[in-house]
A and B are shown apart, each in its own frame.
Chain A
Amino acid sequence: MPDKSLASGDVRNNTFTLNCLINGKAISTEVPAARRLLNVLREDIELSGTKRACEMGRCGACMVLMDGHPVNACLTMAYQCTGTEITTIEGLSEVGLHPVQQAFLEEGGFQCGYCTPGMVISVVGLLGENPQPSQAEVEEALSGNICRCTGYGGIMRAVNKAIEREG
């Protein structure tokens, strides 16, 4: 775990060195302090699985786990990531598909797939905290993830299957 002490960096350009773990790998990169995590991921380290759609925290396409909790990468500033452990969709499937991904695959919980990484992350985050959520808790946890294609039926079936398997 990188230490949480103050990061160094070029103060004049308002940049700092972001030290964190991304998908288990230690990252040390020079970025403007107010750069969004979304841009760090997509542009600086080319992990494009985290999607860009509204950039204002409404759609959930950009969800990642920060120390196990789902956060919107579009609302998270680089400086807020210092010393944290970030998991993106790519990180979930490093050793084979995560059970939640498997459930989405089998139930057809996606169509264009653009919302899917964020959706999967939200579900993983939820089940990490509460492996047997009620229907209402699932709905609440996913209410920040918009899917324009599937109508949520397939997504709900996938989540239920994942819960079943966890239990």
Chain B
Amino acid sequence: MILNKESSGSRWRTRPDGLDKVSGKLQYLTDMTVDGMLVGRVLRSHHTHARILSIRTWKALEIPGVHAVLTHEDVPGLNGFGIAHPHQPVFCSDRVRYTGDAIAAIAADNDEIAEYALSLIEVDYELLPLLDDPEEAMKMDAILLHAEGNVLHHTKYRKGEPEVVFKDCCHIAEETYWTPRQMHTYMETEGGLFIPEDNGRLTVYSATQHGLMDRIQLSRILDIPQEDIRVISSPIGGSFGGKDELNVQPYGALLALRTRRPVRLHNSRAESVRAGLKRHPMKITMRTGCDDEGKIIAHQVRIISDTGAYATLGAEVLNFATEHVMGPYRIDHVEVEGFAVYTNNGVSGEFRGFGGNQAIFALEGQIDRLAEQLQIDPWELRRRNLREYGDLGPLGQEIAQTDGAFQVWEALSNSKLMDADDSRLISKDQHMRNNEPWIVTGTGAAIAMHGAGLGYGIPDPAGGRLKLAIDGKIEAIFGYEEFGQGLIATMEQMLMEQYGFGADDIRIIIGDTDVVPDSGSSTASRATSMMWMALKRLHPEFTATLLEAAASLSNIGIEGLRIGPGGIWKLDEEVLVSYSELARGLTEPIVCETKFNYPTTPHPRVGAHFLYTYSAIAVRVEVNLLTGRVRITDQFHVVAAGPVANPQGYLGQIEGGSSMAVGFTLSEDAVMSEGNYLTKNLDTYLVPTIIDMNGKIEVQAIEDLPDHDTYGPRGIGEIGSVHLAPAVASAVFHAVGKRVSRLPIEPESLQETPFIPHKAVKIHAG
């Protein structure tokens, strides 16, 4: 099905959170104010790598209007945070490792005072040598950034004997790929409001992808019980993985508790760039060999990932990349080795695609290079190597079987874009005949198999609660967060379609740790699947209980009743008991709850996935040889992710993911020099605008799953963003005959000497 409003019919629904968004009424957490509120600011390191000798705050404290100045000495509990490894200091005490490192925080009456007071904090440093290159950091004699060494994580995967088999290969492609330090660039920067309540509790209004995880971390830092902290964490103005770790929360919380007054923090964009997470820059070296039929028989990979100063999810991202450098291909002899390495650069962390983007760019580039050597169509070469139904996953693990790989391959082969012309061969001549000989076009394609969920060995709980509330609303209570992806809309649609409720009957409650059960994190393309599975599990019990309650009120047996909009219906006739009547008849609310885990592979390999989404993409590009600029004129995405839960959301996620990938491919790089960001704001960091995205995008959804499949919709939050880069690189090659191995594509590398008509030369010569 080509996904759009027309093909979706009545399933294309207005988002329940839409009205407040288009009217500007929606209060994001950074919009909140309360009386008597102070503003918080954080002092960050002046250096990329230094020992701290002393910190003097008394001058700042003396400024009228300053209510607190905090340093490491004021952290009552653990002076550290991090989802996987809580070692990033809330406040540095003895050493700074990057310029985003926090040293002190201030609460003041207003921004101007806070800013001035920050400038009065004196810190004495002793500079330490800078490590801004992961490979330098791996050397034996490099200064240690952390006591346990500069390698945060090392992965190794091996099967067969690649070294031996390379000798039998007819063709070998060898290349090193570089990917950029992409920035999430959520439009709402980090921030929130922190309120010490009269009853001694602390309320935190601040964006996160996992409120309960924030609560655990804050409780450790503040040394107060988790129950004393309430985290309210939606709605969020974008996250894309970037707000999963704590950011301003420790400072807001500490300042609020110290001053006993509400404190608001809201990062400026420059502060957000400096302190916020980025996508891991990776250097991926690959050696891939095939036989004369194009069967890939040996594949060797080395990944170097720049994790920056602290761990966050650097190890997990590397695991993901290690798994995804083999992709949806059957290869008998493989060796992968990866290193996530500490440096004094900005901290890298979780970002949509989670290491898949980098891996897939490199892997798909290899396939194209082999196809060139073999002189066959790169798309055909993919088919010859594609995994088949029944094959194990990339790490040799059992996975939920689908035909996704072939389905997307085939659908793309039949697409207009792949058929349209032979422009996958160099088409410069064609353009020479046009008026604009400096514009050349090409088509390229790529394929991806992308894991969802956190993977084997990482706790991945899920669950939720349905309730008929006393006021007659059906409440769906889940521990997920809405950061724009449309989770609330999808949940509403599932409740209507699976259960039969009307939109007005439903109240969705998320993002408040005081009331939600643990549903796990809203990350890794997992939330839609988990909501779907939870609602499936809750269905028999919840509907039976509602029907029984209605039956006992109406004296009609439950066989004669059904759930419908507005209340319980007498089969085909009319509403018999409205939900509010039903609720009034109850002595206590009807509640059903479920708890389970995200499905995982039984194969004990940490991080290995079980559910995968498959996608293929074809793109057509124009390369301007004078400027070296690439413009993507057409994109065709085929996605095999099971049933479409919410067409508008699905389309939006693929289109939005692809625009992020266009940035990754063509313009986005948070450039650092000696550990300092040179790109500090949106004037030099170039996120695609509507002009950059003015080509045509079509999305085809393949919905069928094997009959016995019980997992329902797979995640689509990431799949639109993972394979555009290699498709563009391939299209660029077919346009200009140059191979791209470094992102974002440097225009200089595609520029050619201006085309000069012979006549003009003659005249000048004469």
Question: What residues make up the interface of A, taking CB atoms closer than 8 Å to B?
Answer: 42-43, 46, 48-56, 58-59, 61, 88-90, 92-93, 97, 101-102, 104-108, 110-117, 120, 135, 138-140, 142-157
Contact = CB atoms under 8 A, between A and B. Distances in A.
A54 B682 contact: yes
A151 B237 CA distance: 15
Contacts of A102: 22
B694 interface: yes
B400 interface: no
A29 to B, nearest CB: 15
Nearest to A88: B24
Contacts of B266: 52
Given A49-B25, A142-B690, A146-B682, A112 B187 contact: yes
Contacts of A157: 5
Given A56-B682, A104-B22, A113-B237, 16 more contacts: A49-B25, A52-B189, A53-B188, A53-B269, A58-B681, A89-B23, A93-B24, A111-B486, A112-B235, A112-B238, A113-B20, A114-B237, A143-B690, A151-B656, A152-B694, A156-B694
Contact of A151 (B185, B188, B655, B681): B655
A112 B237 contact: yes
B659 interface: yes
The 10 lowest CB-CB distance pairs between A and B, nearest first, are A49-B24, A112-B484, A113-B21, A89-B24, A114-B237, A151-B655, A151-B659, A48-B31, A111-B484, A58-B682
B51 to A, nearest CB: 34
Contact of A116 (B21, B27, B682): B21
* Main secondary structure on A side of the interface with B: loop
A113 B683 contact: no
Interface residues of B, number: 58
Contacts of B484: 111-114, 149
Nearest to A90: B24
Nearest to A157: B5
Query: Secondary structure at chain B's binding surface: helix, strand, loop or mixed?
Result: loop
B23 A51 contact: no
10 contacts: A49-B23, A53-B269, A59-B187, A101-B23, A105-B22, A110-B21, A148-B185, A148-B656, A149-B187, A150-B652
B501 interface: no
A112 B659 contact: no
Interface of B: 5, 12, 14-15, 17-28, 30-31, 33, 184-189, 235-238, 240, 266, 268-269, 483-486, 648, 651-652, 654-660, 681-683, 687-691, 693-694, 697
Contact of B238 (A114, A139, A153): A114
A145 B688 CA distance: 10
A92 B12 CA distance: 26
Contacts of B24: 49-50, 88-90, 92-93, 116-117, 120
A101 B269 contact: no
B652 A61 contact: no
A55 to B, nearest CB: 6
Nearest to A146: B687
B23 A149 contact: no
Contact of A148 (B18, B485, B687): B687
A150 B655 contact: yes
B389 to A, nearest CB: 32
Nearest to A32: B112
B682 A59 contact: yes
Contacts of B236: 112
Given A58-B683, A110-B18, A113-B22, A147 B187 contact: yes
A105 B694 CA distance: 21
B648 A110 contact: no
Contacts of B18: 104-105, 108, 110, 113
Given A53-B187, A55-B269, A151-B655, A113 B17 contact: yes
Nearest to B240: A148
Nearest to A46: B33
Given A49-B25, A56-B683, A149 B656 contact: yes
Contacts of B697: 151, 153
Given A49-B25, A111-B484, A61 B5 contact: no
Most chain B beta-carbon contacts within 10 A, residue among A53, A142, A143: A53
Given A151-B657, A151-B659, A146 B28 contact: no
